């Protein structure tokens, strides 16, 4: 959707992004966040001459939190919201968290269709091994919070992550296991 008022509000607060936001058309998309009661998260996709750029922001009252780089940015939005995750909220939160940090270098995948497989030409043989099948994020109580196990696409690998997810949204890695290396995927 077009939301010129929101884009201008972001441009006014984001000096380093203002010129791009004001010079090119933008689309604003609400990001599903069922675990937040009042915060709104949006993706702003800017159609530049060299291709689209995606920015993510958390909006809470008059406050705006730039997301996309560091976990601390998400934690700041969580603090403003007073986040208290329930078991049902952990699965969508883990997906949201990884989509909102580290420039999206690691993405949670729960279906094979979420992996960016490289399209093969008509003369290329299929890969010899069957494609690995990711599984849905699992959640169980763990201490005062939760333990989540998730499959993630990371560069050209598929890994299983074990995470400690606190009820306030803090995420700490407990471990990981390589599922498959050298996937035949489109580079991210």
Which tens digit of pLDDT belongs to each residue from 106-156? 889 999 888 877 777 788 777 666 778 889 999 999 999 999 999 998 888
Distance, in Å, from the CA atom of 113 to the CA atom of 135, rounded to the nearest integer, reads 12
pLDDT tens for 11-49 read: 999 999 999 999 999 999 999 999 999 999 999 999 999
Here the tokens at position 123 are 């003369």
User: What angle is formed at CA 175 by the lines to CA 170 and CA 177, rounded to 5 degrees?
Assistant: 135
CA distance 65 to 36: 14
pTM for the predicted model, two decimal places: 0.89
Q: What one-character-per-residue DSSP string does 133-178 give?
A: -----EEEEETTEEEEEEEEEETTEEEEEEEEE-TTS-EEEEEEEE
The closest alpha carbon to 31, from 92, 111, 76, 101, belongs to 92
> Which of 10, 174, 173, 170 is closest to 90 using CA atoms?
170
SS3 at position 33 = coil
> Which element (helix H / strand E) includes 20?
helix 15-23
Domain boundaries of the chain, sorted by first residue:
1-83, 84-116+132-188
- Give the pLDDT confidence score for residue 128 in this predicted structure: 63
> Which among 114, 117, 124 has a CA at the least distance from the CA of 152?
114
The CB-based long-range contact list for 86-89 (8 Å cut-off, 24+ gap) reads 86/35, 87/139, 87/141, 87/146, 89/34, 89/35
């Amino acid at each position: 959707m077009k939301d010129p008022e929101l884009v201008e509000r972001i441009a006014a607060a984001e000096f380093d992004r203002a010129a791009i936001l004001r010079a090119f058309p933008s689309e604003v998309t609400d990001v599903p966040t069922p675990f937040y009661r009042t915060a709104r998260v949006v993706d702003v996709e800017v159609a530049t001459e060299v291709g689209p750029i995606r920015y993510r922001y958390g909006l809470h009252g008059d406050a705006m939190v730039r997301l996309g780089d560091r976990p601390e940015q998400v934690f700041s939005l969580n603090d403003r919201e007073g986040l208290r995750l329930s078991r049902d909220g952990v699965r969508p939160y883990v997906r949201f968290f990884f989509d909102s940090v580290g420039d999206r270098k690691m993405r949670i995948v729960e279906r094979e269709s979420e992996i960016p497989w490289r399209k093969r030409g008509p003369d290329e043989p299929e890969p010899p091994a069957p494609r690995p099948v990711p599984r849905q994020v699992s959640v169980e109580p763990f201490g005062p919070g939760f333990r989540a196990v998730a499959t993630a696409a990371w560069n050209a690998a598929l890994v299983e992550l074990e995470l400690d997810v606190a009820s306030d949204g803090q995420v700490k890695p407990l471990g990981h296991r390589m599922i498959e290396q050298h996937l035949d995927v489109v580079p991210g």
